[in-house]
Amino acid sequence: MIDLVGSLRRGWLNVTAHIDFPLLFIVLGIMGIGIATVNSATIDTSHRMLAQTGNLCIALVVMWLVSRVPPQKLMRFAVPLYVVGVLLLIAVFLFGIKVNGSRRWLSIGITRIQPSEIMKIAMPLMLAWYFQKYEATLKFRHYLIAAALLLVPFALVAKQPDLGTALLIGSAGFYVIFFAGLPWKVIFGLIAAGVSAAPFLWTMLHDYQKKRILTLLDPTTDPLGSGYHIIQSTIAIGSGGVFGKGYLSGTQTHLEFIPEKHTDFIFAVYSEEWGLLGNLLLVTLYTLLIGRGLLIASAASTLFARLLAGAITLGFFTYAFINMGMVSGILPVVGVPLPFMSYGGTALVTLFTAIGILMSINTHRMLVKK
């Protein structure tokens, strides 16, 4: 009997060996808020709460599995995942299914997949692997090659067109290069070049993308068109006030004034019902999440692990900031979901894969040392 307790204990320890509990609790905290908000957003129509809870369960299993894979093994996936990812993106470019004017999906018989989702993980993985490989002999040309590795998938996704995802993939890659030590003068040089090339880039944007940026500057120019999203979501946030209108009581939400309310604009739903206090809680949770991720990166034992952890963590930041910024009307509307809040199984699996990688990096330090 004693042995049974002992083996249960050992079993539990074994199962949870690679779980980082602080990270888990923070993420589950955000997920709890997210599922409750999905419930509020869909209670009148599609009832997505249970589906999102199911998605969470699957995602947690994926996280658990990934967390058990040591970083050295993860490195082996870097190149194949990246190559497959790029090939799939090319396939999308050639044979993809067009939905709402952009070609993002690839049909693989039984279901459709969105290869750009793979790139969100594959990109930092690949670049971290690359810098690890040339760690001792790092030259400036390696940054150039890394930039090329970054730009190919970025261009393919931007071409779909899916500006939001392209930005996420591009920023994830850029964070790796940044943490790998890209000289400051190059960074500032790039910023300067970017600013001066802005007018040229402007001409490259699709009309709808230009419109979104113009609409951000003055939403009232197109109140029934693309300005509508921003106007309605800012009304939702602003009318929420300090304490919010109360759970399930957001008028903007329940009278269907908020578009995409359980996905990209879920923050407007949350903010309307929970107010400024709710927002502070959510931003605090994201800050804790990012803080925990940066600590893990800081303590990581290999360059690969450090770069990967740092890039993934800043990736969460990028998602959260762009999404809340666009919903509250200070950034243009690009299709970026709010991590752990927005409804969607695929995105959740990707996010928890990333969490699993962070956990793996944090819990395999000792093993590497040995």
Q: Given the rule CB under 8 A, which residues bind other proteins?
A: 135-136, 175, 178-179, 181, 232, 234-242, 251-252, 255-257, 271, 275-276, 279-280, 283, 286-287, 290-291, 294, 297-298, 301-303, 306, 310, 314, 317, 321, 324-325, 328-330
2 CB neighbour count, 10 Å cutoff:
6
Q: Between 286 and 352, name the residue whose CB sits nearer to other proteins.
A: 286
Across the beta sheet with 102-108, what order do the strands follow? Answer: 97-99, 102-108, 111-113
**What is the rounded CA–CA span in Å between residue 333 and residue 123?**
24
Shortest gap between Cβ of 17 and other proteins (angstroms)? 23
Q: Between 303 and 341, name the residue whose CB sits nearer to other proteins.
A: 303
Give Cα separations from 167 to 129, 201, 271, 317 (angstroms): 21, 14, 25, 13
Helix H segments across the chain?
Answer: 2-15, 21-42, 49-67, 71-95, 115-133, 140-158, 163-179, 184-204, 207-217, 227-240, 251-254, 266-299, 303-327, 345-363, 365-369
Q: Between 62 and 307, name the residue whose CB sits nearer to other proteins.
A: 307
Q: Between 114 and 323, name the residue whose CB sits nearer to other proteins.
A: 323
Q: Between 279 and 353, name the residue whose CB sits nearer to other proteins.
A: 279
Q: What is the CA radius of gyration of the chain?
A: 21
Give the type of residue at 33.
I
Shortest gap between Cβ of 238 and other proteins (angstroms)? 3
83 CB neighbour count, 10 Å cutoff:
12
Shortest gap between Cβ of 317 and other proteins (angstroms)? 5
Q: Between 154 and 175, name the residue whose CB sits nearer to other proteins.
A: 175
Shortest gap between Cβ of 96 and other proteins (angstroms)? 32
